[in-house]
């Protein structure tokens, strides 16, 4: 099992870094759309859809990404002077997503509502997956190293939460949703993200680099939202009776298992980034 996990991890890292650093803008758009399509296919499993419906859901997701790319390529960085266009398009994706994660999901997890097996469930899936696709595309306009550094916030939070939770964990964070997560792990994640963020603060826009109180709040919020994204998918998998969102990544589960925290954090980061550019 460990050998399979390591081999898959090496392949995933190599494929992701190659795509991130070497694909042209349109190639990166297509790569991110493929990730979104697989995530949508897995979302169909959480909804209890059949094989044909799940394939159709993945196909529709690809079609939506293609339509957005065709209708507004400049907003996706395929062309010059994209910052204004990026905001005009992105706000329609990111603002509803921010409201969903910050306002609705905490209440959802507290009451443990089931995922609707209807158009509402499809709409929620779109609200998670499509803004993540767009954020991956638009944040890359800041440069491949910048996007990698942004995604490292989530990965660092996960790693720090795991090790601090295993070392110091005594108080369960959400035992009915994910018994392994602890408050000590969440605190460890917050400390790691704060240290990482302040080390890189000189490379951030001046509104964050010079306002340490604001930076502190933003980093804590990102850590909290990252944990919420992880817990939310754990809740949906538990309700669907699934251990993983799929088995497409041997030893690692599915794409949604790997991007669960990114679905909550990347759209918020893209919203912040575009707001600062304005």
Q: 128-168, pLDDT tens digit by residue?
A: 999 999 999 999 988 899 999 989 999 999 999 988 988 88
What separation in angstroms does the CA of 66 have from each of 58, 69, 72, 252?
12, 5, 10, 28
Instruction: Record the tokens describing residue 110, joined without a space.
Output: 């507290």
Across the range 48-73, mean pLDDT stands at 95
pLDDT value, residue 80: 63
Region label for 111, one of left (φ > 0), alpha (ψ between -120 and 50) or beta (otherwise)? alpha
Cβ distance 232 to 264 under 8 Å? Answer: yes
Token pair 């010059």: residue:
80
199: left (phi over 0), alpha (psi -120 to 50) or beta: alpha
Work out how many domains the chain is built from and give that number: 1
Alpha helices in the chain (DSSP H): 2-22, 25-46, 51-71, 83-99, 105-111, 119-139, 144-168, 183-199, 206-209, 212-240, 255-277
User: Do the Cβ atoms of 267 and 131 come closer than 8 Å?
Assistant: yes
Tokens 């980034």 correspond to 273
The pLDDT assigned to 115 comes to 94
- Cα separation, 227 vs 225, in Å, equals 5
62 pLDDT more than 80: yes
Query: pLDDT for 95-116, tens place per residue?
Result: 999 999 999 999 999 899 999 9
Domain that holds residue 226: 2-277
- 6 has a pLDDT exceeding 70: yes
Q: Which two tokens stand for residue 153?
A: 């916030």
Taking CA atoms, 111 is separated from 31, 115, 133, 141, in Å, by: 36, 12, 29, 39
What is the pLDDT, as a whole number, of residue 81? 59
Question: pLDDT at position 205, please?
Answer: 78
Angle at 265 between CA 261 and CA 268, to 5 degrees: 160
C-alpha to C-alpha distance for 259 and 266, rounded to whole angstroms: 10
List the one residue out of 51, 58, 109, 53 whose CA is nearest residue 236. Answer: 109
Instruction: Identify the pLDDT of residue 227.
Output: 93
């Amino acid at each position: 099992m460990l050998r399979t996990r390591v081999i898959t991890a090496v392949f995933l890292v190599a494929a992701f870094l190659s795509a991130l650093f070497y694909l042209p803008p349109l190639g990166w758009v297509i790569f991110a759309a493929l990730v979104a399509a697989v995530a949508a296919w897995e979302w169909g499993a959480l909804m209890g859809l059949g094989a044909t419906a799940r394939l159709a859901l993945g196909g529709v997701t690809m079609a939506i990404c293609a339509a957005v790319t065709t209708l507004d390529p400049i907003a996706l960085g395929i062309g010059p002077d994209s910052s204004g266009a990026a905001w005009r398009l992105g706000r329609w994706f990111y603002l509803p997503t921010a409201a969903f994660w910050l306002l609705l999901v905490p209440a959802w997890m507290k009451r443990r509502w089931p995922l609707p097996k209807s158009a509402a469930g499809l709409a929620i899936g779109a609200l998670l997956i499509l803004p993540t696709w767009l954020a991956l595309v638009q944040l890359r306009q800041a440069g491949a190293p910048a996007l990698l550094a942004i995604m490292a916030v989530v990965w660092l939070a996960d790693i720090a939460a795991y090790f601090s939770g295993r070392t110091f964990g005594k108080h369960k964070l959400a035992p009915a949703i994910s018994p392994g997560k602890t408050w000590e792990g969440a605190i460890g994640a917050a400390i790691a993200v704060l240290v990482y963020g302040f080390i890189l603060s000189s490379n951030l826009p001046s509104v964050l680099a010079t306002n340490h109180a604001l930076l502190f709040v933003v980093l804590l919020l990102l850590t909290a939202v990252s944990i919420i994204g992880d817990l939310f998918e754990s809740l949906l998998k538990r309700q669907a009776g699934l251990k993983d969102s799929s088995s497409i990544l041997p030893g690692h589960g599915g794409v949604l298992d790997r991007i669960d925290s990114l679905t909550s954090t990347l759209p918020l980061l893209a919203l912040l980034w575009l707001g600062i550019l304005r």
